[in-house]
């Protein structure tokens, strides 16, 4: 489909008065300088994932995990919301986006001005750290300060292991967030996917729930997804270029 036509159809859906839900993946943040996972040069080209059971079992695995998180933290410290995050925040402000379900752990939707309660973080957040024994929350800055001071895998005063509050491979998904995301997806009239391969489950099942319930599905993504043939609109373009054009069309309505 011609890109301008796709942009027009998405704007039309957003303005049609139904329940509009946006679903984002790592691709919305690449233009903020945070690499995604699966593109060339992405995170999996540089690191091997540390599974949750390894983290809990082995100090060497915890050290490796924190080493990877330190590199990600440096990218995150520099990252600011890009034109795509800002356009979604503008649409939210205009009352045209009810909630954002995100696979991202970078907090950039909140930084763009969308209130905390309207962002559902399916994979947790890298902005905080949790003790795996007592559940106490620490700031990410505090944990990284301890790493810089020579403690490569910091622990809680209770002896528990500290871990960024994100979901690792093999770790249970946050129940409340998953339930909320399913509920929003099932009740959506319009469901917009931005920057996700739609391969990681259960997050990637959300567009399917929306479709089953009769929602109009649109995708803005640079590479293929399993929903490309069944969605209503597919825009093969950069989120930071496409979304501001959509918001602009609605400004003048």
Between 15 and 222, whose beta carbon lies closer to ligand NAD? 222
Sign for the pseudo-dihedral over CA of 189, 194, 197, 201: negative
Q: Cα separation of 204 and 202, whole Å? A: 5
Q: Does 110 bind ligand NAD (CB under 6 A)?
A: no
Q: Is 83 in the site for ligand NAD (CB under 6 A)?
A: no
Q: Which stretch binds ligand NAD (CB under 6 A): 9-17, 30-38, 134-142, 150-158?
A: 30-38
Sign of CA dihedral 51, 56, 59, 64: positive
Q: What are phi and psi of 20, to 5 degrees?
A: -105, 125
Residue holding tokens 């139904």? 18
Q: Counting contacts by CB under 6 A, is residue 222 touching ligand NAD?
A: yes
Q: Does 232 participate in binding ligand NAD (rule CB under 6 A)? A: no
- Residue 78, SS3 per DSSP: helix
Label residue 251 exposed, middle or buried (CB < 10 Å: 0-12, 13-18, 19+): exposed
Alpha carbon distance 72, 54 (integer Å): 20
Stretch of residues binding ligand NAD (CB under 6 A), selected from 31-39, 48-56, 110-118, 243-251: 31-39
Residue with token string 């983290």: 55
Q: Which of 13, 90, 104, 168 binds ligand NAD (CB under 6 A)?
A: 104
Which residues does the annotation mark as catalytic? 123
* Residue from 62, 85, 92, 123 binding ligand NAD (CB under 6 A): 123
Q: Does 103 bind ligand NAD (CB under 6 A)?
A: yes
**164 binds ligand NAD, rule: CB under 6 A:** no
Q: Does residue 38 interact with ligand NAD by CB under 6 A? A: yes
- Where along the sequence are the contacts to ligand NAD (CB under 6 A)? 25-27, 29-31, 34, 36-39, 42-43, 103-106, 123, 195-197, 199-200, 220-223, 238-240
């Amino acid at each position: 489909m011609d890109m301008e036509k796709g942009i027009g159809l998405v704007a039309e859906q957003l303005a049609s008065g139904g329940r509009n839900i946006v679903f984002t993946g790592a691709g919305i943040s690449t233009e903020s300088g945070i690499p995604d996972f699966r593109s060339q040069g992405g995170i999996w080209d540089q690191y091997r994932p540390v599974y949750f059971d390894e983290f809990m079992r082995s100090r060497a695995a915890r050290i490796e995990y924190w080493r990877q998180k330190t590199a990600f933290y440096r990218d995150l410290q520099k990252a600011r919301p890009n034109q795509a995050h800002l356009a979604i925040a503008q649409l939210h402000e205009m009352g045209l986006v009810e909630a954002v379900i995100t696979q991202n752990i970078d907090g950039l939707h909140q930084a763009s001005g969308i209130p905390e309660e309207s962002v559902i973080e399916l994979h947790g957040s890298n902005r905080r750290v949790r003790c795996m024994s007592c559940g106490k929350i620490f700031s990410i800055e505090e944990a990284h300060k301890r790493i810089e001071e020579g403690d490569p895998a910091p622990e809680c005063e209770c002896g528990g292991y500290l871990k960024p509050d994100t979901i690792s491979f093999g770790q249970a998904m946050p129940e409340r967030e998953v339930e909320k995301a399913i509920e929003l997806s099932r009740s959506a009239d319009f469901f917009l996917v931005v920057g996700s391969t739609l391969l990681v489950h259960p997050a990637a099942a959300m567009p399917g729930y929306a479709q089953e319930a009769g929602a109009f599905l649109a995708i803005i993504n640079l590479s293929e997804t399993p929903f490309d043939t069944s969605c209503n609109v597919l825009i093969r373009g950069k989120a930071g270029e496409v979304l501001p054009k959509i918001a602009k069309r609605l400004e003048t309505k």
